[in-house]
Amino acid sequence: MSRYSAVVERECFYTLADRAAAQAESGEVALLNLRGECSDFIRYNRTRIRQAGRVRQARLRLTLVRDRRQASATFDLSGDESADRLRLESVLGELRQLCKMLPEDPYLHFATAVNSTDRTEPTSLPRAGEATAQIVTAFDGLDMTGVWACGESCSGFANSMGQKNWHAVGSFNFDCSVHDGTQSVKHSLAGQNFDADALNATAAQARQTLSILSRPPKRLDPGRYRAYLAPEAMGDILGLLSWGGFGLKSHRSGRSPLMRLVDGDVHLDPRVFVDEDVASGFAPAFTGEGFVRPQRVPLIEGGRFASCLVDARSAQEFGHSVNASAEAPQSLDMAPGALADEDVLRALDTGIYVSNVWYLNFSDRNACRITGMTRFACLWVEGGVPQGPIEPMRFDDTLYGLLGERLLELSRNRPLSLDPDTYEGRSFSSARLPGALVEGLRLAL
Amino acid sequence: MGIILVHPEAASRLNYLKLPMRDRASTDAIEKSFERLAQGIDHCVLRLVEKRRLGVSVRLDVPEPVLNDHVSGCMLTVVEDGGAGYAATGDLSEGGLELALKDARDRAKLTASHRLFDAARLPIPADRARVDNRSAGGLPGVTDCLAMTSDASRRIKAAATNAKAMDKIADWSAAIEVAECHSLLLSSAGARIEQSYGYVSPGLSVVARDHGQSQQRSHGDGHMARQGGLEQLDVVDFAEHGERLVGEALALLRAPECPTENTDVLLMPGQMILQLHESVGHPLELDRILGDERNYAGGSFVTPEMIGSYQYGAECLNVVFDPRVPNELASYAYDDDGTRAERHDLIKDGILVGAIGSASSSLRAGIPAAASGRASSWNRPPIDRMANINLLPGDHDLGALLASVERGVLMDTNRSWSIDHLRNKFQFGCEIGWLIEDGERKGLIRNPGYRGVSANFWRSLDRVGDRSTEAVLGTLDCGKGEPNQLMQVGHSTPACVFRNVQVFGGG
C-alpha cells in the first residue's frame, strides 16, 4: 500500500462501471462519477499541532437514464470491491424505481460518443511526520497558524456505453499565516513535489515581512487611493466574479454581475484577457456527463465579453456546446501585463500594497460593485518605499472601474495558485493571475 | 428496541432511496468491532454518521435533476501520550475500522511530539442516551416535493402572467431540501449516544430584469431551514409567497435607490439572522478567540478578559446559545464530542457573559464549555460552532418599532454579507427596503445596504421587537475550519431598530 493509497483505484472503479453496464437494461444508460481522496490534514496554531488526522473517502454518483428521465444517487464507497458492487446494484434498482416517479427531463444531456482519457501524474509527497518536522523547524520561533493538506485525489467518469475517464493527482497545500500581535502575513506553498528549500524560503520571507509589519500601523480615512492588488488579492476578486459571472445560465437568468459587459454597455481595459485554461490546470478535463472539455475557453478578450462557461444542462436548454463541467472557472488564467515584480513599488509610488483581501461579496451586482476587507500584510507605501502596515479597511468599488478606466498596469509575474479549499474534498481548482496597479480604489470604512 | 440508525418507517416515507443502511445487525457489528479494537486504549471515540438528503427544485416550471445524497462513514479519535489524532473512513468493516484506528494512533503520536495542549486532560464522553427529534409527521418524499415545488412554480408563473410581466421575469425557482440525519457516538469509557433528526429547507426565488437592472426577491432560499418534517413547510407558508415576490421584484425595478446617509434602520428577521450570526455568533467562538482560525475564518475582537464585564450592546440586547429549542435547526442533546448540551446566556442585558466553546476550547481557555464541538460530517473533526444563537424578544410590536423612527430605512432579506477577520467592520445588503417617515412605512427602495462596526453597532440598538415580530430561521451553509466544513446553525430573532447607521444604495 502506498503512502496515500486511494480508497478506490482506477481498475476497481472501472470494474464497478462494467458491473453497472452489465446491469443496465435495454434502453437504459448508466453514468458513474467518482470522487476520492486519501488526505492528511494537519492543523497548526502557534506553530504547534492543533488537530491532525487522515481522511479516506470515495463518493460515487450513479445516474440512470431511461425513457428521457434521469435519476441519480450519490453515496460513499467503502473500498471493499464486493461490498461496493452490492451497493451499486442495490442503488441501480432503486434508481429504476425512482425514474418512474419523475417526469421527462427536457434538458437531459449526456455524451454519446465514447471518448476515454487518462491523466495520472507522478508526485513526490512527504509523510505527515516528515512534513511536520520540517514545518515546525522552519517556523520555529514564529507564531504560525494554518493547515497542511496532502495526499492523492482522483476523479473518474464512466458510462455504460464504454467510455472511461480517469484523473488522479497527488498534491500538497500548505496554507499558513504568521502573526505578530495584531499584524500577520499569509503564505501558501503548494504543488505536486514538496521542496524543503522552498518551505524554508517561505518562512524566511515571513520573517522579513514581519519586520515591516512591526512598525506603527497607518490609519487611513475613507476615500480613494492608488493601490497595487497583488496576485493573491486578484485571486479573491476573480473568485468572487466567478460566482455567477461567467456561466451561461446566470447570464440568461439575469443574475450575472457581468450583465453590462455582456450587453456591451461597458467594457474593461483592452489589456484584460481572461480564459478558462483547462490544459494548464489541475481539474479533470471531462465533465460529469462524459463530455471532454476544450483546452481553453476565452471568457474576456481585450476587455470585452467573449464567451460563457456552459455545462451540459445549459447547453441543452440554450442550444450551446458543452465546454465546462460546472459554470464557474476551475483553471482561471488572466493574461500578464508589463509590470515587473521589482518595479511594483516604484510604480505604485504612494498608495496601498494590498497583499490579500477577505470576505468579498457584491454590494450591487448590477454595477459589478464589490466589497471586502484588506487582510494580511497590506502596506502603506510612500515614494515607492513601504512605510508599515495599514489598519484593516473596507473597500467598496466597481470592477468595471478597477479593471476598466482605472487599471494602470498588470504585473508580468503570474504565480500559479492551487486552491486550498477543502469543503467537500480537496479542490482541483487553480489560477494563474497577475497583480493589478489601479488608481482610485475606494475605501468605505 | 435495538440499535437502528434509520427507522424503517421513516425510510419508507422518504420514498426516494432505500440504500442498505446500518440495520441492527450491521450496527451491532460496528459496536462489537469498536469494543475489540479500543481495548487497551484509554481514550478512543468512534463517531458514526449517516445522512440522507433529498433536494427537489423546479426552475422556470421545469423540474431540475433530483439531488439524492447518502452519506455514511465514521471517524475514530484517539488520545495517547497527550496527543490527539483522528482518522475518517467510509469502510465500516472491522478491517476498515482497524486501519482507521492505526491512522488515528499514528497521528496522535505525531501530535504528542508537537502538541498545542495536553489532550490527556480532555474529558472522555461516558453518557448513554438515545434522542430522536424526528418529526412524527415524517419527511416529504420525492413525489410530495415535486408536487409542492411544481405548485409553487405555477403560482409564480400565474402571478407574472396576471401582472402582464412575463417578459420581465428572467428567472424563478421553487425548491425544497429535506434530510434525515443520524449519529452514533461510542467511547472506550462506555458512552453510547445515538441521535436522530430531520430537517426541511424551502426556498422560492424570483428575478425580474428590465433596462439593465436585475432585482431578486426570495423567501427562504437557504435561510429558512428548520428541524422537523412536512408540518414545518406549513409553518413557513412555503407556497404562499410567490405572488408577493413577483410583485416586489417588479416594483424594485422601478424603485429609487436607497439613499446614502446616516439614519435609523429597522431590520427584519430576514436580515437580523445575518447580523446576529456574523457579529455576535462568530466573534464569541472560543476557537477564534484562541487563535485556531486566524489563517482562515479569522480571530475575534473579543478577548477572554471581556467575558463578564464587556458592554457588548444596549441593555435591551439579550442573546442565548440554546441547542434545545424544538424545531430550530441546530438543536441537539449532545454535541459531537459527547458533551451534554444546555442553554447558556451569551449576552445578558447588554453585558457579555459567555462564549461558544467545545470541551477542548473550554479546557484551553478556562471558560465553561457550551457543548459546541460540532462536525459537518463523518469526515471532519468537531470544531467550535454555533448551535442556535437566539436574540431574545423585547416588548415592541412592529407598529411600535416603526413609530419610534422619525426617518429611517426598513430592510429585509439578506443578499450580501461581508465582515472583517476580527468580526468588527461589516457591510450587509438586503433584497428590499422601504423608507420610514414619521413612524410610517413609505415608498419602496432598491439595493439597500448598511455598514458599521460590531463593537459600536450593538450599542446603537434601541428597540427590540416582541414575539409577533420574531422568526425562527436557520442556514445550512456556515463555512469555517481547516479542513473546511459547512455547518447548520439556527437563529431566532425579532425585528430590531438601530440608531444612526450608515446606509447606502446601489450604483
The 3 state secondary structure assigned to B320-334 is: EECCCCCCCCCCCCE
Greatest Cα pair distance, chain A, in angstroms, is 74
From chain B, pick out residues whose CB is under 8 angstroms from the CB of A58. Answer: 90
Residue type, B316: C
Residue A48 at interface with chain B, using a CB cutoff of 8 Å:
yes
Helix, strand, coil percentages in chain A from 3-state DSSP, rounded to 5: 25, 40, 35
Cα–Cα distances in Å, from A69 out to A30, A89, A358, B63, B66? 12, 19, 43, 11, 11
pLDDT score for A435: 98
pLDDT of the residue at A3? 65
Return phi, psi of residue A231, to 5°. -55, -35
With vertex at residue A12, the alpha carbon angle to CA A7 and CA A15, rounded to the nearest 5 degrees, is 150
The H-or-E segment that residue A284 falls in is none
The pLDDT score that the predictor gives to residue B2 is: 27
CB atoms within 10 A of CB A140: 10
Residue of B89, B486, B505 with shortest CB distance to A56: B89
Do A358 and B298 count as a contact with CB atoms less than 8 A apart?
yes
Q: pLDDT confidence of A427, banded at 50, 70, 90?
A: very high
Sequence-distant (6+) residues with CB within 8 A of B100 are A56, B74, B75, B76, B87, B88, B89, B91
Q: How far is A160 from chain B (nearest CA, A)?
A: 20
CB-side exposure of A350: number of CA atoms within 13 Å? 4
Taking the Cβ of residue A132 and every Cβ of chain B, the question of whether any pair is shorter than 8 Å is answered with yes
d(CA B378, CA B382): 10
Mean per-residue pLDDT over chain A, rounded: 96
Q: Is the dihedral of CA B317, B319, B325, B327 positive or negative?
A: positive
SS3 B153: helix
Q: Which residues of chain B register pLDDT less than 70?
A: 1-22
Q: Is A204 on the interface with B (CB under 8 A)?
A: no
Contact between residue B101 and residue B77 where contact means Cβ atoms under 8 Å apart: no
Closest chain B residue to the Cα of A88, Cα to Cα: B19
Reduce the DSSP state of residue A251 to 3 states and report it: helix
Which CATH code of 3.30.2290.10, 1.20.910.10, 3.90.226.10, 1.10.10.10 fits the domain covering A10-132+146-177?
3.30.2290.10
Q: In chain B, what residues touch A186 (CB-CB under 8 Å)?
A: 295
Whole-angstrom distance, CA of residue B301 vs CA of residue B287: 13
Which residues on chain A are in Cβ contact (under 8 Å) with B111? 49, 51-52
**How far, in Å, CA of A135 to CA of A43, rounded?**
11
Contact assignment for A373 to B16 by CB distance below 8 Å: no
pLDDT at site B15:
47
Amino acid B21 reads M
- Answer for the pair B221, A255: CB distance below 8 angstroms, yes or no: no
Q: Does A176 touch chain B (CB under 8 A)?
A: yes
Question: What amino acid is encoded at A409 in this protein?
Answer: E
Set of chain A residues whose Cβ sits within 8 Å of the Cβ of B103: 53-54, 56
Minimum-distance CB partner of B86 among A53, A78, A260: A53
Q: Where in chain A is the domain with CATH 3.30.2290.10?
A: 10-132+146-177
| Contact status of A147 with chain B (Cβ, < 8 Å) | yes
Cell numbers standing for residue A233: 488579492
Please report residues of B whose CB lies closer than 8 A to that of A365.
214
Structure confidence at residue B5 (pLDDT): 32
**Is residue A80 pLDDT above 70, yes or no?**
yes
CB B67 within 8 A of CB B23: no
Measured between CA atoms, the residue of chain B closest to residue A53 is B86
- Which domains are seen in chain B, by residue range? 8-254 (3.30.2290.10), 261-504 (no CATH)
- Please name which of B247, B246, B227, B243 lies closest in space to residue B235, comparing C-alpha atoms: B227
Contact (CB, 8 A) for B269 and B494: yes
| Cell numbers found for residue B82 | 497527550
How many pairs of residues across A and B have Cβ atoms under 8 Å apart? Answer: 270
Q: How many CB atoms lie within 10 A of CB B304?
A: 13
Do you know the residue count of chain B?
507
pLDDT of residue B207: 98
> Contact at 8 Å (CB) between B346 and B320?
yes
Does the distance separating the beta carbons of B207 and A255 come in below 8 Å? Answer: yes
Q: Are strands A29-45 and A143-159 parallel, antiparallel or unpaired?
A: antiparallel
Q: How far is it, in rounded angstroms, from Cα A317 to Cα A196?
A: 50
% of chain A with per-residue pLDDT over 90 = 97
B73·A57 Cβ contact <8 A: yes
